[in-house]
Amino acid sequence: MAITRIDVKPAVLHWVQETTGGNLNDVWTEKINKWLKNESKPTLNQLKDLSKKAQVPFGYFFLDNAPKEDLPLLKFRTINNVDIDRPSRNLVDTIHAMELKQSWISEDRSRNDYPASPFSHGAKRVMNPSNMNAEQFAVNIMASLDLKVGWNVGLKNRDGFKLLRKKLNQVGVIVMYSGIVDSNTRRPLSQSEFRAFAIDDQFAPLIFINSNDSYNAMLFSLVHELVHIWFGTSELYNDDFQNRYQFLHTKTEREINRISEEIIFPKLLFNDEWHRQTEGTKTDQIMAIAKHFNASPLSAGIRAFHLHLINQEVVEQLKYKLNQEYQRNKEYRKDKKSHGNYYNTKAAQTDSAFAREVERSVNSGTIGYNTAFELLGVKNSSAFEKLLNKIKEKG
């Protein structure tokens, strides 16, 4: 029986190589290079296997030209770097997955006469926003979340992130986070590619955080994105914290950063703590202040720089120190090879309000179980019930 071979256009094969970012092993790389040189052609089964390995839709191999995936969110990226113009499959699939969840819950809330989120476009509901400074904006945003200035002082570890997430839930904002695509540990999300993204919506504004970072660093990403939602703008947060920023929307991003800093590090409180922490080096001061505000040392260092308390040289010293610690911790985690309890982890990553509405819709017969499984990323009824129970336990 003759083997059917497929004539895949070179442009499509080149696109597969680019979009996988060099993640294909040597065997697949060699096969694709042979197909490009016309030394052989792929079989149907080979293309099916490559589709799974490269995480690209099988139908793409039959196109005449390289696929053009419409990702409007890329237009709203923070830093105008070239790499993000060619997003990885991991980023693409994560965005699509969150868009699916947001689309469902937005339609569900609208259909069930939920009020629009009072937080989205909150800037339109304040007096004379054009005359307000970063501190005034921060106070208004915190008030809309029922938070006081210095809300994060003295909190420990995950508490700041958890508190802020809870407050956002109360005003209709969905917050998800993960460090991998779906539940696939072989598809980690790259911190260098993106830290978070926000997709504004009338009924269900959504924030996704790349969790391949500490909770304190994730806190700054969450604050940065909630400020975007308050202004009614979507964003892909890919800030690389380098010296020479190339913001895509310079004025807007600088303003958002200043407001975010003011929410986490109010100027008066920060200055008071700076003058109280006098022991050790400048980097020691910054580390102590970051702990005081339950925030990341890098964001504390950048705040100190913007307040003219340190120079760029100290910021670079801090980055170097933090990078060393990150690499040590990375190796430690690799040696431990522990991924924790699957359901505990997935429950923490899943937005509680979102899960409750999925459960309600199943119980009311609005959606079937298969749709519910897809929305919560589980495969069967047993996993569905276990996940819901864990989500209820966490509150």
| Whether residue 143 sits in one domain with residue 55 | no
Dump pLDDT digits (tens) for 223-241: 999 999 999 999 999 876 6
DSSP string of 303-343? HHHHTTSS-HHHHHHHHHHHHHHHHHHHHHHHHH-----HH
Residue 314 lies in a domain: no
Structure confidence at residue 275 (pLDDT):
94
Dump pLDDT digits (tens) for 65-86: 888 777 778 777 776 655 566 7
Query: What's the CA gap between 81 and 244, in Å, rounded?
Result: 12
Residue 384 lies in a domain: yes
3-state secondary structure (DSSP) of residue 147: coil
Strand residue runs (E) in the chain: 174-178, 180-181, 184-188, 196-199, 206-210, 235-237
Pair 274, 289: CB distance under 8 Å: yes
Structure confidence at residue 239 (pLDDT):
78
| Whether residue 86 sits in one domain with residue 51 | no
| Whether residue 113 sits in one domain with residue 212 | yes
| Whether residue 175 sits in one domain with residue 78 | yes
Structure confidence at residue 244 (pLDDT):
52
User: What proportion of the chain, given as a percentage, has pLDDT over 70?
Assistant: 91
Q: What is the mean pLDDT of the chain?
A: 88
Query: What's the CA gap between 203 and 39, in Å, rounded?
Result: 54
Residue 320 lies in a domain: no
**Angle at alpha carbon of residue 307, lines to 303 and 313, rounded to 5°:** 75
Number of neighbours of residue 107 by Cβ within 10 angstroms? 12
Residue 102 lies in a domain: yes
Residue 131 lies in a domain: yes
As a whole number, mean pLDDT of residues 101-122 equals 96
Domain membership of residue 16 as a residue range = 10-68
> Strand pairing of 206-210 and 174-178?
parallel
Domains: count for the chain:
3
Dump pLDDT digits (tens) for 158-209: 999 999 999 999 999 999 999 998 888 888 998 888 999 999 999 999 999 9
| Whether residue 109 sits in one domain with residue 253 | yes
Dump pLDDT digits (tens) for 314-366: 999 999 888 888 777 665 555 544 556 889 999 999 999 999 999 999 999 99
Domain end: 264, 293, 321, which one? 264
Domain end: 214, 236, 264, which one? 264
Query: What's the CA gap between 300 and 284, in Å, rounded?
Result: 11
Tokens 């309000």 locate to 353
For 327-359, b/e burial (b = at least 16 CB within 10 A) is: eeeeeeeeeeeeeeeebebbbbbbbbbbbebbb
| Whether residue 62 sits in one domain with residue 97 | no
pLDDT band at 262, cuts 50/70/90?
A: very high
| Whether residue 180 sits in one domain with residue 86 | yes
Number of neighbours of residue 213 by Cβ within 10 angstroms? 19
| Whether residue 53 sits in one domain with residue 22 | yes
Query: What's the CA gap between 308 and 370, in Å, rounded?
Result: 56
Dump pLDDT digits (tens) for 34-60: 999 988 999 988 998 998 888 888 888
| Whether residue 87 sits in one domain with residue 53 | no
Residue 61 lies in a domain: yes
Residue 301 lies in a domain: no
Structure confidence at residue 238 (pLDDT):
83
| Whether residue 58 sits in one domain with residue 201 | no
| Whether residue 137 sits in one domain with residue 22 | no
As a whole number, mean pLDDT of residues 279-294 equals 94
pLDDT band at 21, cuts 50/70/90?
A: low
Structure confidence at residue 89 (pLDDT):
85
Structure confidence at residue 375 (pLDDT):
94
pLDDT score of 245 more than 70: no
Domain end: 229, 264, 299, which one? 264
Residue 107 lies in a domain: yes
| Whether residue 39 sits in one domain with residue 25 | yes
